[in-house]
Copies of this chain bind each other. A is one copy, B any other.
Amino acid sequence: MNILVDAMGGDNAPQAIVNGCVEAVKEAEGFDIVLIGDKNKIEEILGEKNLSNPRIKIHHASEVICADDSPTKAIKNKKDSSMVVGFNLLKEKKGDIFISCGNSGALMTGALLILGRIKGVDRPAFPAIVPTKTGKCMIIDAGLNTVCKPINYQQFGVMGSIFMKEMFNLENPKVGLLNVGSEEGKGNETIKQSYSLLEESNINFIGNVEGSDILKGKADVVVCDGFVGNVALKTIEGAGYFMIGLLKDVFFKNLKTKLAALILKNDMKIIKKLLDADEQGGALILGVNGLVLKSHGNSNEKTIKNVVLKAQIMAKTKIIDTISKEFSNTEVEDIAE
């Protein structure tokens, strides 16, 4: 298995990316890494601390897509950028999965323009996975589509269900529609129509779920548009930090509370880890012809290591094949790609 990694994307590239990959190959077997980017710079980093490893290869790319580049222009004009080269290697099956921390817009655009949508998929999605009381929950979409049609909600439900089944071995993932109330008939017109379409789908649709149900684990897949999903995801992040902040204030109050904090230190670390994007790291673009894992722009060495380890599990699944099979008979409007 070859894991393609954009060595030049993100705030801490290439140093953190290269180091993270070195850590990942130390920690697990069964895959090689192809670092894509400036050969000299990558070799320099690997040479510095004698980090070279036969499982880490370099594929030179002379250009870099920057954070402030216009997505479509960058993908079309920077043909030898680490990101575009990565997409092409993935398309040519020279790698099993592609990881990048680069410009999000360009990554989405590249996935659509270079890999293309899976036949039958109207709009790909960019889901997020959050921890819940009972395990994990996928919020789909979490940012790619800020306005959606009912067909999109339905397809998000189907793709999310397939992902959770393939990735976490859930037998019959529960799919819920994020709404302002639990009763049928809630929400606006788009949501009501989406409800009907989800009900007709061949998935385990459990009806409406509310914001408060997400972390309860009421559903394994929570379907929403990318605007609502992004707000929900970031609100969860913010609420986690808020609670940790409140606890910190309590812990530092006096000698007694400091003792309590000392006793709870390790457990608090576990809770913080659960809420830490660097630990969870990496979200898949669902609905395109290839596995593309986006890690956030300020990913550090630890994030990259975790994302690579996640990628190798993901690359063993049949996510793309199963989605392709599921949607092979679906007719969708043709959009310019």
Chain B residues with CB below 8 A from A256, complex form: 263
Identify which of B178, B215, B226, B263 contacts A231 (C-beta below 8 A).
B178
Q: Chain B nearest CB: distance from A161 CB in Å?
A: 21
Q: Is A188 an interface residue (CB 8 A)?
A: yes
Q: Is A214 an interface residue (CB 8 A)?
A: yes
The secondary-structure label for the interface of chain A is: helix
Which residues in chain A, 93-113, are within 8 Å of chain B measured between CB atoms? Answer: none
* Other A-B pairs beyond A212-B235, A227-B228, 5, CB < 8 Å: A132-B242, A147-B189, A240-B243, A247-B271, A256-B263
What is the CA–CA distance of A240 and B268 in the complex, to the nearest angstrom?
16
Given contacts A239-B243, A250-B267, A271-B246, contact A212 B234 (CB under 8 A): yes
Contact B240 A211 (CB under 8 A): no
What is the CA–CA distance of A122 and B75 in the complex, to the nearest angstrom?
44
Chain B residues with CB below 8 A from A46, complex form: none
Chain B residues with CB below 8 A from A211, complex form: 230-238
Q: Is A216 an interface residue (CB 8 A)?
A: yes
Instruction: Tell me the nearest residue of chain B to A233, going by C-beta.
Output: B211
Instruction: Tell me the nearest residue of chain B to A212, going by C-beta.
Output: B238
Which residues in chain A, 7-31, are within 8 Å of chain B measured between CB atoms? Answer: none
* 29 A–B contacts from the bound complex (CB under 8 Å): A132-B242, A147-B188, A178-B231, A180-B230, A187-B227, A210-B234, A211-B234, A211-B236, A212-B234, A212-B235, A212-B241, A215-B238, A215-B239, A215-B241, A215-B242, A216-B238, A216-B241, A224-B231, A227-B228, A228-B228, A228-B231, A235-B235, A243-B243, A243-B271, A247-B247, A247-B271, A250-B267, A250-B271, A253-B267
Chain B residues with CB below 8 A from A238, complex form: 211-216
Q: Is A245 an interface residue (CB 8 A)?
A: yes
